[in-house]
Amino acid sequence: METAAPEKPQSFRDTIATVDQDGQRVWIYPKLVKGVFYKYRTYLSWFFLALLFSGPFIRVHGHPLMLFNVLERKFIIFGLAFWPQDFNVLVVGVIAFIVFIVLFTAVFGRLFCGWVCPQTIFMEMVFRKIEYWIEGDAAQQRKLAGMPWNAEKIRKRSTKFLLFFSLSFLIANTFLAYIIGTDDLFKIILDDPRQHLGGLAAITIFTGIFFFVYWWFREQACLIVCPYGRLQGVLLDKNSINITYDFVRGEKRDKKIKNRPEDAGDCIDCKKCVAVCPTGIDIRNGTQLECVNCTNCIDACDEIMVAMNKPQGLIRYTSYNNIVEKTSQVFTTRVKAYTVVLSLLLTLFFYLLLSRPDTETTILRAKGQLYTEQGIYYSNLYTLKSINKTFEPVEVTFKIKEFPSAKIRMVGSNLSLSPQGLAQGAMFVDIPKVHYRAPGMKLSIEVYAKGKKVETISTRFTGPNQ
C-alpha cells in the first residue's frame, strides 16, 4: 500500500501501535470524537443493530427471513430455503459475493469496515460508548487504569463488566437464533436445562467469545484475525478511495499557530487524529493495514481546521492519485474487468436461482434387484428420495416420458412431502414388453409437483437379453 509521501520516515512500519518493544500489548484509549461522520455512523449503526436483533423474529409466510442451520444443513436466505442440493447456487453466490467485495474494495477501499462491519459497529458504537459513559473519556480511562483497586475503580469496572457481559449474552443468543431459529432458542431458554445441555453450552461459549473480544481483544480482531483487513495490500491501488491524509496540502507540518513559516502546510501537528484512532495509528504515515476506516480522524481534523479557519478535509475520503495528480479515475481497467466478471457471475447466479426446482428427487434402481415379468410388462423396482424446498406440503408424482403406456406402481402411498421435508419411498416401473429394447436401456422419469413438471431424471431399465 503506497500512499505515503516518499520522503517520510518509514520507521512506523517496523512496529504496530498496539505492541511495545517487549512484545507487550499497548492498550489504546481513543479519545471520544464528535463530528458529522461520527453522527452519521451512529445513525447507521442504530439501523443495523435494529436489523440484526430483529432479524431472527422477522417472518416470511411464517418462516424466518434468515436461518443458517449448519447442524441440520438447512439454510433460509431472504425467505428462500436452500438445501445441500443447492450447493451449486450457493457456491456461485459466494464467488459472486467475493468478487463484489474485491470490486467494492478496489473502488471504495475499506468503507465496509468503518460503516457496516459488525465488529466495528459493536466495538465503536456499543461497547466503546458504554465505556465512555462509565469510565469517561480517554484521560479518565487512563487514570482509572492506573488507580489501585479502590471503591471507585471496583464500582466502575464491575458496572462495565455487568453491562459488557449482559450484552455479550444477548448477542450470543441472537447469533444462536440465526443458527437454530427462535423457536428452538426459546425452548433452550425456557425448558428444563438438562434437556438442552448442548444448546446451553453453545450460548455459554458464544457469550464467552463475544465478551473476550469486546472486553479485551478489541482492535486486535481487525489487526490479527480479520482476513479482509489482511487482503488490503493486494486489493487497493492508487485510485482506490480511502481515508487519506492530504500530505500535499498538510506538509510541511508545523506546530506554530501564529506566525507560521512560509513553507508550512495546513497540518499543525496537534496529533488529534492520532488521539482518536481506535487502532492507535497516525494516518499521516499513509494508508496502513491497521486503519479500519472509522472516520474518527476526519472528524477530529475537521474540527481543528474549522478552528484554524482553514478548509475542512485535510484528512478525507480520496485517492492517492487525487492528492498527487489531482485526478480521480474510478473506472480503471482493473475495475472494468471485475465488473464484467461480476456481471457474468450474477447472471449465472440468478439463472440457477430462478431455474431451481421446488423439489429435488433422486431415483435409483433398487440394489440387488433385476427385473420381474408382470404379464405383458417387464418390471423394475426403484428407490426414491425427494426433498421439498418450499414451505408448503407437496405430493410428488411420476410419469415415464418415452412410453405413455408404461405404468408406475408406488410401493405404499405417493410421496408426500411436508414443508421443507424429506421423504423416501419405492416404486415399480412397468414397461410393456413390446417397447423393451435391451438391458440397461435409458429411461426418463418426469417428476411432477403440484401438477407441474419440476424435473426429468434419467435412469436405466433392465430386462432379459433379446
Task: Single out the residue of 173, 207, 244, 296 in contact with ligand SF4 (rule: CB under 6 A).
Answer: 296
Q: Which residues pair with 243 in a beta bridge?
A: 317
Task: Single out the residue of 105, 168, 293, 361 in contact with ligand SF4 (rule: CB under 6 A).
Answer: 293
Q: How far is the CB of 396 from ligand SF4 (least distance, A)?
A: 56
Residue 87's SS3 state is: helix
* Closer residue to ligand SF4, CB minimum distance, 27 or 186: 27
Question: Grid coordinates in use for 461?
Answer: 431399465
207 is an interface residue for ligand SF4 by CB under 6 A = no
* Closer residue to ligand SF4, CB minimum distance, 157 or 271: 271
Grid-cell match 485526478, residue found: 327
Q: How far is the CB of 89 from ligand SF4 (least distance, A)?
A: 37
Q: How far is the CB of 259 from ligand SF4 (least distance, A)?
A: 17
Q: How far is the CB of 279 from ligand SF4 (least distance, A)?
A: 5
Contacts to ligand SF4 from residues 253-272, by CB under 6 A? 267-272
Q: How far is the CB of 138 from ligand SF4 (least distance, A)?
A: 13
Cα separation, 96 vs 76, whole angstroms: 18
Residues in the chain: 466
Based on its alpha-carbon atoms, the radius of gyration of the chain, rounded to whole angstroms, reads: 31
> Are the CB atoms for 230 and 224 separated by under 8 Å?
no
Grid-cell match 499543525, residue found: 268
Question: Grid coordinates in use for 308?
Answer: 484554524
* Closer residue to ligand SF4, CB minimum distance, 299 or 455: 299
* Closer residue to ligand SF4, CB minimum distance, 29 or 169: 29
* Cα dist from 259 to 243, 255, 256, 265, 308, whole Å: 30, 10, 7, 13, 13
Q: How far is the CB of 139 from ligand SF4 (least distance, A)?
A: 18
Cα separation, 234 vs 171, whole angstroms: 33
- Return the range that interacts with ligand SF4 (CB under 6 A); candidates 16-24, 198-206, 281-289, 368-376: 281-289
* Closer residue to ligand SF4, CB minimum distance, 3 or 361: 3
- What is the size of the binding site for ligand SF4 (CB under 6 A)? 29
443 is an interface residue for ligand SF4 by CB under 6 A = no
* Closer residue to ligand SF4, CB minimum distance, 184 or 269: 269
Contacts to ligand SF4 from residues 297-326, by CB under 6 A? 297, 300-301, 304, 314-315
Q: Which residues 6+ apart lie within 8 Å of 386 measured at CB?
A: 359, 360, 361, 362, 396, 415, 417, 422, 423, 424, 425, 447
284 is an interface residue for ligand SF4 by CB under 6 A = yes
> Are the CB atoms for 408 and 428 separated by under 8 Å?
yes
294 is an interface residue for ligand SF4 by CB under 6 A = yes
- Return the range that interacts with ligand SF4 (CB under 6 A); candidates 181-189, 286-294, 331-339, 382-390: 286-294
Q: Which residues 6+ apart lie within 8 Å of 332 measured at CB?
A: 106, 237, 239
Crossing angle of helices 36-54/151-180, nearest 10°?
Answer: 50
Cα separation, 30 vs 32, whole angstroms: 6
* Closer residue to ligand SF4, CB minimum distance, 283 or 335: 283
Question: Grid coordinates in use for 142?
Answer: 487512563
Q: Which residues 6+ apart lie within 8 Å of 408 measured at CB?
A: 398, 399, 400, 427, 428, 429, 430
Q: How far is the CB of 109 from ligand SF4 (least distance, A)?
A: 10
Q: How far is the CB of 8 from ligand SF4 (least distance, A)?
A: 13
User: Interface residues with ligand SF4 (CB under 6 A)?
Assistant: 243, 245, 250, 267-273, 276-279, 281, 283-284, 291-297, 300-301, 304, 314-315
